[in-house]
Structure 1
Amino acid sequence: MAKDLPANHEGFDTAQRLKEEEELGLRRPQGWQLWLVPSIALCWSLFQLSLASWLLLDTTYVRAIHLAFALLIVFLSYPTLRRDVRLPGLRWLGEKHKIPLMDMLLALLATLAALYIVIDYAGIAGRVGRPSQLDLVVGIFLVVVLLEAARRVIGPALPVIAAAFTGYAFFGPYMPDFLAFKGVSLARYVSQISLTTEGIYGIPLGVSARIVFLFVLFGALLDKAGAGKFFIDLAMSLLGRYRGGPAKAAVLASGLTGMVSGSSIANVVTTGTFTIPLMKKVGYPAKKAAAIEVAVSTNGQLMPPIMGAAAFIIAEYVNVSYLEVVKAAAIPAFASYFALFFLTHLEASKLGMRGLTKAELPQFFAILRGGFHFVVPILVLLYELIIPRHSPDLAAYRAILVLAAIMLVQHAVKALMFGGNALQGVKQGVFDILNGLISGGRNMVAVAVATAAAGIIVGVVTLGLGGLITNIIDTLSRGNIFLMLLITAMASLILGMGLPTTANYIVMASLTAPALVTIAGWQGFEVPLIAAHLFVFYFGILADDTPPVGLAAYAASAIARSDPIATGLQAFMYDIRTAVLPFMFIFNTDMLLVGVEGYLLPLYIFAMTCVGAFAFVSATQAWFLMRTRWYELLLLLGVALIMFRPGFFAHFVGIDNHYLSYLVGLALYLVVFALQRLRAGKPGAAAA
């Protein structure tokens, strides 16, 4: 398949650079410094694996050491400024070819500040609420260096928001009555944010240290093992021959890789390198080829088991099991993905495309036979989570062990089968495992720093701002639940342009998710807490392709050689089908399987939700079997409304059982299908 790809080395290099900047930082040192950060990342991965197997430590110790590793890597990998500095004496601020002495010193001091709660654990515990002078100095320094680390890794948005909340905590008494807050003392602020588990060392950082790291490490090892190319080839062999096949293969491949990667840009670069040129080859315009890849890569974060690393934090915040979160998220995630399959088919139909020929495609059984071992660790992970229901960290750890064993022997087995050097194969396996461990540590830096920095905002909110925020949102929305949802969605999109998914979710979950539940309750409308959390999570993910900042769109447009803003806009238009789902499951909690038991009823709800999503896609694309007429478009929108809100329709027409509403929607869908089939049979319809 690779031989058929059109040459676009420049675009691939640009996309790869964006991915590396996101995951590895901007600095590429030489000499002995070249091995410094990889060695630290390797030690970090080994430490996390030890926690999952034999090492027992207090939760606070684990969180502090986790943050210390992250800060150490940040200040060694990311220069103070992204641009080069020409001023004599200040060139180190933008130095990218070596690690300056100042950054080494800052890395050491930041690490010690993160570990201070461990170093003087007993003393701090005995001074709760009465911090010493040293406690105050170290606590303030930790907040400052953490915000600086966040600025270097993920940009200024999160530090600015955290600084604004910090300022509000101190200057609240001087605000207008509408925004007035009693304020806090410096001692209380430092105690809350830096010296307890209510701020920086709170739940988000704890989940990052205990669970998220192992899943990110699992994804990194899978990538180094070569599973990415296997998923792409497998998807292409299954779907490439159909109309618009490369786009359908992109959907499947990105869904498979997105399950474990948790990064939109990584998905784009991993799968888009192959699928975007092939989509262009069969007739997709460059902009649409890139936009489809962005849409599927962004939606990859919706897919269990990782869900952009937020699934585990949702479980902690909502106080339910991880499997309950996966259960609630399953129908919207899979319905959104199936609808994207349908959307690619509609685009292919509009453009009159063909699929790839058999000669252009890899053979399914050959691909499956050569890469089935990549599926085994994923099956082990799913088995551990679903059958014995082990904790997510234990399940991920055991899956990593199985994957490491496969990586160790896979090259040796191939060497024995084809007459190669088995010992050399084992050495290559060891090299791949080490690379995967290093990559896992480096990939976790952004998540660890983001969760810790978001903890500052969470800590300030728990100082007493929670009720005030609820009142502010209630005032802005005038108590209207629909306006409140719209405000929350827009805030999530805007914040998500500058924040990674996990940090955006933490901030919005702290600020708006409880307010959604509370204000809805004031109006006599019950919103389950899991629905409110998934609502802000969905819109945080959609920010990844929202212009003008969506980095996934920039990476895809570099490969496709399309305009990044136009690509982002097109991708967002494709993702409208995803954006409508959170508004629907707030009012139709059956989509989240809240209170729904058994097997047949969930499958029925899922099938009807998919029909509603297909109808909505047809309406937004103005195409079903052919171009839709205005009355067909209205019927399709009616189908979508009935399927997404069956209870509303049942109440409107007086049906006792709202599940019967689905049958009405299905009948209308078949009516549109019949109308278009009749038109398609008329002379001249095909030409039109």
Structure 2
Amino acid sequence: MRELSGPLRLLVYGWLAAVAGVHLYFGGFGFPEPIGMRGFHLLAFVPVCFLLWPALKTSRMDRPTLLDWAWAVASGLPHAWVMWNWDVVSDRMEYVDPFGPFYMLLGITTIVTLLEATRRAVEPGLACMIIASLLYMLLGPWLPGVLNTRVFTWSEIVESAWLVPTAGGVYGPLTGIVATTIAVFILFGSFLQASGTGRLFTNLGAAAAGRFSGGPAKVAVVTSGLFGTMSGSSVSNVITTGAMTIPLMIRIGYAPAVAAGIEAAASVGGALMPPVMGAAAFVMAEITNIPYSEIVVAAAIGGVLYYFAILAAVHFEAKKLGLRPMTREEVPPWREVLADAHLLIPIGVLVWLMGARWSGNYAAFWACMAMVAVAFLRRRSRMGPRQILAALINAGLTMAPLAVTIAGAGIVVSCLTATGMVVAFGGIIKGLAGGSLPLLLILLAATVLVLGMGIPTTPSYIIAAAIGVPQLIEMGIPMLAAHLFIFYFAVLADATPPVAAAAFAASAIAKSGPTISSLHATRFGIAGFTIGFAFIYDPAIMFQGSAWTIFAATATQVAALTLITSAWAGFLLRPLGWPLRLLVGAAGLFGAFGHVVPDDARLGVVIIMLGLAFTGQWMTRLRTAPG
């Protein structure tokens, strides 16, 4: 991203602060008509992408060129027209009313500028996927078999991508949820950071975990989990927390690639942790019509299990390597943590309002107001005009690439829907699965992980959900469980090879190989794979069922994940020999994936195996102890 200076910096950052403030105001006092709001949202953020993100690595990094300004102006004109003429767009009969040359000009301009903004500010892979979707509409009639489509005219292709807001496209429901709910939550996260809540999370992680073996790694896990609830981006989470934790991990003895893997696995999990999950969770609420509060509750146990498994893996790794805790000087005293404890009140306000079934944008608005008020209770956290302005600017900088990401994903979804590719691709997967639910789940998980190689979590989830969820529902899987399954693998794609954005960012800090770092990230994030399948086979972890079934399902996962992480590290209370290591790992995998066996039997197997392994190692340690 460019580093602007002087009047240009004031202009661009002032614009970002202003439009972010408008989004905040709408969150508390009501939004304008949906199409007009979506037009305003894209007008606010798409042109900025051309001013802040250069076209090439060799482009000027201190100011935009005349060509960048031309791109910015061109990208804003169609959205300004839609914002001003929202009633015309709302009253159109899609594919029936004429789509004349003026509409074609605006539509093509929107698509081309959005592609370029996506390439610059998000991922070239997502831009390629958008192009491929449009080409499929054009070339589909000449493709064989299930890939064959009807003939689409040029005007139908452009209209589908641009001006079909009921089914998708640039102004579809996905852009709507970002322009309203997600935007206000991003503002809340920005206010959290401006108030010093990040300092609270860092100190809390260090005070809680720093005194234990391999302390910096555990601090990374705890801090990244807390940061992830407000950052909304695994990469920004890595950059924020990894700059501190990765060098500390390397200093006490972790290999650079291992340190990068731990940070990446911990950072991607932030999107899985309530109360503020990633943008994809809000999209899930919009797609399913399930209240966000219910999604948060259903995901709570899974999020905790994910971080439990990382902490267990980090602990066994540290014990095996004999790594020391953080020094007394490096661990902040609890009084330092408690000095910022008042900053948790706005998070409590958010949770309370969401639990009371208030809309997400309204809850986030009042949480922002509560943060400004509560921060005034202590001098160290007080937010003056400068801090509030910085929070608005940072929120705008986060919203800009997200706006083009979601608009691009809307084009893909619209193309897949218009061509019937959602049904066709779903049919291919269904045919390969041959009626087997386990095989269908494996194929869908692989599909999501492949999609995640080139595009961010949210569009990856959106596209995969459109393809896979209907197949799972047809197999009798409840809607929420099906969406959470897809969601988990979309999140994990940021940490799994061969292309893993979070792991690559962590490897840049650790100065390690990106591929080996992503392999270690997969190892430490193994719980995401087991929990993803548990949503399908163990619905009790979504708080469904009796208290005993919820406890049993959770305990089974805890014991299974302990066995799996212990076997992978080769350490429990002491090093594991290969025969015991294989046995422990097999028992863990059975507990996590042996769903053909009754739940009580699986729980009994993993508890007995864990007890036997623990007792055997404890007795061996007593026999070999000096004296």
TM-score when scaled to structure 1? Answer: 0.85
Q: Is the 8 A contact 2:234 2:267 kept in 1?
A: yes
- Structure 1's unaligned 5+ residue stretches are 1-25, 85-93, 415-424, 651-657
Q: Distance in 1 between matches of 2:286 and 2:30?
A: 23
Q: Distance in 1 between matches of 2:177 and 2:239?
A: 27
Cα deviation for residue 337 of structure 1 reads 0.5
Partner of 1:206: 176
Q: Mark the CA change 1:603 to 1:206 in structure 2 (over 3 Å): closer, same or farther.
A: farther
Cα deviation for residue 399 of structure 1 reads 0.7
Pick from 594, 612, 621: which aligns with 1:671? Answer: 612
Cα deviation for residue 601 of structure 1 reads 4.3
Pick from 486, 496, 504: which aligns with 2:442? Answer: 486
The aligned amino acid for 2:408 is A
Taking the TM superposition and a 5 Å limit, the aligned residue runs for 1:222-237 are: 222-237=192-207
Structure 2 residue 470 is matched with structure 1 residue 510: no
The aligned amino acid for 1:620 is W
Partner of 1:18: none
Q: Is the 8 A contact 2:36 2:84 kept in 1?
A: no
The aligned amino acid for 1:396 is A
Q: Is the 8 A contact 1:200 1:453 kept in 2?
A: yes
Partner of 1:350: 320
Structure 2 residue 24 is matched with structure 1 residue 76: no
Structure 2 residue 65 is matched with structure 1 residue 100: yes
Partner of 1:20: none
The aligned amino acid for 2:87 is A
Pick from 571, 596, 616: which aligns with 1:648? Answer: 596
The aligned amino acid for 1:490 is A
Structure 2 residue 160 is matched with structure 1 residue 192: yes
DSSP-derived class of the 2:151 partner: coil
Partner of 2:352: 383
Q: Is the 8 A contact 1:231 1:253 kept in 2?
A: yes
Q: Distance in 2 between matches of 1:556 and 1:124?
A: 44
Partner of 1:495: 451
The aligned amino acid for 1:336 is Y
Pick from 608, 614, 627: which aligns with 2:575? Answer: 627
Taking the TM superposition and a 5 Å limit, the aligned residue runs for 1:59-208 are: 59-81=34-56, 83-84=57-58, 94-128=59-93, 129-130=96-97, 131-197=99-165, 198=167, 199-208=169-178
Partner of 1:458: 413
The aligned amino acid for 1:474 is K
Q: Deviations over 1:192-242 (max 9, x none)?
A: 332231222222211111111111111112222222122111221122111
Mean alpha-carbon deviation: is it higher for 273-282 or for 632-641? Answer: 632-641
Q: Is the 8 A contact 2:309 2:525 kept in 1?
A: no
Query: Percent same amino acid among aligned pairs?
Result: 34
Q: Is the 8 A contact 2:552 2:600 kept in 1?
A: no
Q: Is the 8 A contact 1:169 1:460 kept in 2?
A: yes
Pick from 448, 451, 456: which aligns with 2:403? Answer: 448
DSSP-derived class of the 2:597 partner: helix
Taking only aligned residues, the RMSD between alpha carbons, in angstroms, comes to 2.4
The aligned amino acid for 1:530 is L
Q: Is the 8 A contact 2:495 2:521 kept in 1?
A: yes
Q: Is the 8 A contact 1:291 1:556 kept in 2?
A: yes
Structure 2 residue 228 is matched with structure 1 residue 258: yes
Pick from 321, 335, 338: which aligns with 1:369? Answer: 338
Mean alpha-carbon deviation: is it higher for 258-267 or for 569-578? Answer: 569-578
Q: Distance in 1 between matches of 2:345 and 2:582?
A: 47
Q: Mark the CA change 1:280 to 1:226 in structure 2 (over 3 Å): closer, same or farther.
A: same
Cα deviation for residue 183 of structure 1 reads 3.4
Q: Distance in 2 between matches of 1:145 and 1:537?
A: 29
Structure 2 residue 470 is matched with structure 1 residue 532: no
Pick from 571, 579, 588: which aligns with 2:538? Answer: 588
Mean alpha-carbon deviation: is it higher for 52-61 or for 294-303? Answer: 52-61
Q: Distance in 1 between matches of 2:523 and 2:601?
A: 31
DSSP-derived class of the 1:305 partner: coil
Q: Is the 8 A contact 1:469 1:515 kept in 2?
A: no
Q: Mark the CA change 1:39 to 1:213 in structure 2 (over 3 Å): closer, same or farther.
A: same
Q: Mark the CA change 1:126 to 1:555 in structure 2 (over 3 Å): closer, same or farther.
A: closer
Cα deviation for residue 41 of structure 1 reads 0.9
DSSP-derived class of the 2:623 partner: coil
Partner of 1:53: 28
Cα deviation for residue 147 of structure 1 reads 1.5
DSSP-derived class of the 1:354 partner: coil
Partner of 1:610: 558
Q: Distance in 2 between matches of 1:532 and 1:405?
A: 40
DSSP-derived class of the 1:649 partner: coil
The aligned amino acid for 1:606 is T
Q: Is the 8 A contact 1:52 1:397 kept in 2?
A: yes
DSSP-derived class of the 2:512 partner: coil
Q: Is the 8 A contact 1:64 1:118 kept in 2?
A: yes
